[in-house]
């Protein structure tokens, strides 16, 4: 693969960007990352995806600027679709995605983290949207879902990165840990989520993604319809029985 590795641990898949030195995203790497997440649709043996870097220097430093220098305006629509497809594949992956961020997450790297369901970062992490520095737009639609408009615009208009503590303060990341505690924190959370009903995770994520874009009352009614759908499943009944009988549930994904 073009700089992407996949490792599986039980029901947890680790998608590892490993394109040294800083995971600069070429067109080929964008496409491969998108393909990996699109294939998760058919993976009923996976309940959680952990997205991390295999490079010590960065989570992802953004678009490969050397490749970008050779791009033409005529090529840009196809390139934009390739990028958009990748971000959409991560955000709409049918199972929960945890981004483990250690080191800089800049430009597209910041957006990739924003497309995950949960972000856990080490104190070494930095986040930035430097698009203005290279004559581009982008990133704010995804990052703006997570942070106040003022904070997002400050990041974009200046192009300056923020450190992990500031990212945690404004809500861009959900947990902040020391570098040597990152893997343990991510793995522990992934294991907790992977122990839940596989069907419940998929239906719940689909429900949340769709309700997010709706007015509150309509969104909640939408969730209730999915809840009724889930109630018909064996897993939902098993979850309730397990609580009543004070035992661990045994899920079948049905």
State the chain's maximal CA–CA distance in angstroms.
Answer: 64
Considering the domain boundaries, does residue 252 fall inside one? no
- Two structure tokens written together for 252: 């079948």
Q: What is the CATH number of the domain that holds 178?
A: 3.90.226.10
Whose tokens are 């947990």? That residue is: 175
128 forms bridges with which residues in the sheet?
106
Interval 74-89: pLDDT, tens: 888 888 899 999 999 9
Interval 152-185: pLDDT, tens: 999 999 999 999 999 999 999 999 999 999 999 9
Pairing of strands 126-128, 104-106: parallel
Q: Are 90 and 49 in contact (CB under 8 A)?
A: no
Please give the mean pLDDT across all residues of the chain. 93
Domain-terminating residue out of 157, 178, 194: 194
- Two structure tokens written together for 118: 């949960």
- How far is the C-alpha of 93 from the C-alpha of 88, rounded, in Å? 8
| 183 & 206 share domain | no
| 37 & 141 share domain | yes
Q: How many CB atoms lie within 10 A of CB 183?
A: 16
Query: Over 90: is that where the pLDDT of 115 sits?
Result: yes
**What is the pLDDT, as a whole number, of residue 97?**
98
Confidence band of 1 (pLDDT split at 50, 70, 90): very low
| 225 & 188 share domain | no
Considering the domain boundaries, does residue 11 fall inside one? yes
Query: Over 80: is that where the pLDDT of 102 sits?
Result: yes
Q: What are phi and psi of 106, to 5 degrees?
A: -120, 145
Q: What is the mean pLDDT of residues 208-214?
A: 93
Q: Name residues whose C-beta falls within 8 Å of residue 98's C-beta, 6 or more positions apart in sequence.
A: 48, 49, 50, 51, 116, 117, 118, 119, 120, 186, 189, 190, 193
Query: Over 90: is that where the pLDDT of 240 sits?
Result: no
| 120 & 25 share domain | yes
| 120 & 228 share domain | no
Considering the domain boundaries, does residue 8 fall inside one? yes
| 58 & 174 share domain | yes
| 224 & 163 share domain | no
**What is the pLDDT, as a whole number, of residue 220?**
94
Q: What is the mean pLDDT of residues 54-74?
A: 86
Considering the domain boundaries, does residue 253 fall inside one? no
| 154 & 121 share domain | yes
Q: Are 175 and 163 in contact (CB under 8 A)?
A: no
| 232 & 187 share domain | no
Considering the domain boundaries, does residue 14 fall inside one? yes
> How many domains are there within the chain?
2
How much of the chain exceeds pLDDT 70, in percent? 99
Considering the domain boundaries, does residue 172 fall inside one? yes
Question: Residue 205's domain spans which residues?
Answer: 198-244
Q: Name residues whose C-beta falls within 8 Å of residue 23's C-beta, 6 or more positions apart in sequence.
A: 3, 17, 29, 53, 55, 58, 59, 60, 61, 109
46 vs 242, higher pLDDT: 46
């Amino acid at each position: 693969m073009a700089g992407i590795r996949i490792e599986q641990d039980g029901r947890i898949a680790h998608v590892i960007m490993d394109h040294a030195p800083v995971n600069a995203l070429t067109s080929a790497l964008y496409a491969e990352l998108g393909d990996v997440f699109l294939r998760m649709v058919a993976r009923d043996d996976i309940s959680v995806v952990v997205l991390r870097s295999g490079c010590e220097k960065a989570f992802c430093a953004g678009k490969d600027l050397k490749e970008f220098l050779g791009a033409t305006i005529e090529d840009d629509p196809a390139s934009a679709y390739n990028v958009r497809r990748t971000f959409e594949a991560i955000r709409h992956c049918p199972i929960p995605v945890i981004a483990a961020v250690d080191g800089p997450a800049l430009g597209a790297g910041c957006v990739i983290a924003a497309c995950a369901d949960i972000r856990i970062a080490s104190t070494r992490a930095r986040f930035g949207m430097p698009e203005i520095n290279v004559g581009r737009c982008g990133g704010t639609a995804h990052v703006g879902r997570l942070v106040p408009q003022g904070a997002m615009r400050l990041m974009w208009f200046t192009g300056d990165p923020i450190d992990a503590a500031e990212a945690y303060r404004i809500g861009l990341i959900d947990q902040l840990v020391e570098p040597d505690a990152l893997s343990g924190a991510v793995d522990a959370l992934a294991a907790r989520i992977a122990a839940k009903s596989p069907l419940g995770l998929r239906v719940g994520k689909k429900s949340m993604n769709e309700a997010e874009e709706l007015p509150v009352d309509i969104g909640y009614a939408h969730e209730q319809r999915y809840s009724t759908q889930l109630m018909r499943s064996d897993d939902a009944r098993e979850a309730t029985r397990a609580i009543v009988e004070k035992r661990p549930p045994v899920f079948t994904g049905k």
